[in-house]
Amino acid sequence: MKRPSVARVYDYYLGGTANWAIDREFGDRVLSKFPLLRDIALANRQLLNRVVRYLTKRGVRQFLDIGAGVPTAGNTHQVADEARQEAGGVPDVRVVYVDNDPVAVAHANMLLTREGDAARHVVIESDLRRPDELWQKAMDTQLLDPNEPIALLLIAVLHVHQPNADGTDVGPEAVARFRELLPKGSYLAISHITDEGVPAELGDRLVELKRMYDESSSSVVIWRTRSEIAALLADFQLVEPGWTWTPEWHPEETGPTARPVSFGSPNEAVVWAGVGEKVT
C-alpha cells in the first residue's frame, strides 16, 4: 500500500486499530497542523450515534450504511441494539454495511464474525458511484425489505471525490438515484465537511487539509457549501432541527457509550449534517 487510505486514517483519528503505519504517519502529519481534526472526527462519529438512536426509537428497523469504512466501536448495529435494549425491546435491527475498500470490508467481516449476528448484520463490497448495482447487492443479502422504510447513512462520505470515468464527481447524481430507490417513509442521513460559515482560522486550515489529502492520500476531497450539501436531500422532508453543525443535531440522543467531545462554538466542528424523510 503506497498511499494512506481515507477510511483507515479516519479509523486512526477515532482511536481504532484497523489502520497501517502509512495511515498513522499521514494522520499524525495532519494532526500536527490541524489538531482539532480528531475532535471533528469524534463529533461526526457522535452524529452517527445520535442518528441511529433517533431513528431506531422511531421504528426504523433496517439501515444501509454506505461508505462505512471500518466499523469501529460505536458502529451502527451496536448503537441500534443498545437503543432497543434501553427501550426494553429485543435487538432486531438489520444493518447492511457497504464499502468499496476491500481492506475495510475484510476488517468489517472479521468484526461482524466476532461480535455481530449473521442473521441481522452483513458487509458487502460495492461502490456508491453505481447506485443500482449497490442497491441490488444490498437487497440480495435478504436482510433489507425494499417495501419497508430504510435508513440510508452517508456519514462523512460525500466530501470524498467520487469520480466517474472522465474524473467528474458523481456523488450528487448517485445520491439522487438513491433517493429514488428508497421506499416511502425511508430516511437519508448526510454529513459533509464545509468551509462555509466556519471560524476564519479553521477556513485557512481546511485549505491546507485539502492540499494534504489531495497530494498524499488515496482520494481527493471536496468542501461543498452548505446550500450544495442541503441540495443532496432535495425534496425529502427535513427532520428537526434541520441542517446543523454536528454537535447541534439532537445532542440529547448521545448514547452512554459515545466518546465525549466539545467545541468552543458548534461551527468549529466544520461538518454540516441533516436527516431527511421520504414522505411521497
**Is the separation of the CB atoms in 206 and 214 below 8 Å?**
no
Q: What is the pLDDT of residue 73?
A: 66
Continuous segment of H or E residues that includes residue 277: strand 271-277
- Helix axes of 6-13 and 21-33: crossing angle, nearest 10 degrees: 60
* Total residue length of the chain: 280
Q: What is the pLDDT of residue 128?
A: 96
Q: What domains does the chain contain, in order, with CATH numbers?
A: 48-198+223-277 (3.40.50.150)
In tens digits, the chain (280 residues) has pLDDT values of: 578 988 889 989 998 888 889 999 999 999 999 999 999 999 999 999 999 999 999 999 999 999 998 767 689 999 999 999 999 999 999 999 999 988 889 888 988 998 889 999 999 999 999 999 999 999 999 999 999 999 999 999 999 999 999 999 999 999 999 999 999 999 999 999 999 999 999 999 999 999 999 999 888 999 999 999 999 999 999 999 999 999 999 999 998 878 889 999 999 999 999 999 999 9
Q: What is the pLDDT of residue 69?
A: 83
Q: What is the pLDDT of residue 97?
A: 97
**Cα–Cα dist 267/245, whole Å:** 6
Q: What is the pLDDT of residue 6?
A: 87
Which residues lie closer than 8 Å to 240 by C-beta, 6 or more apart? none
Q: What is the pLDDT of residue 1?
A: 55
Q: What is the pLDDT of residue 29?
A: 96
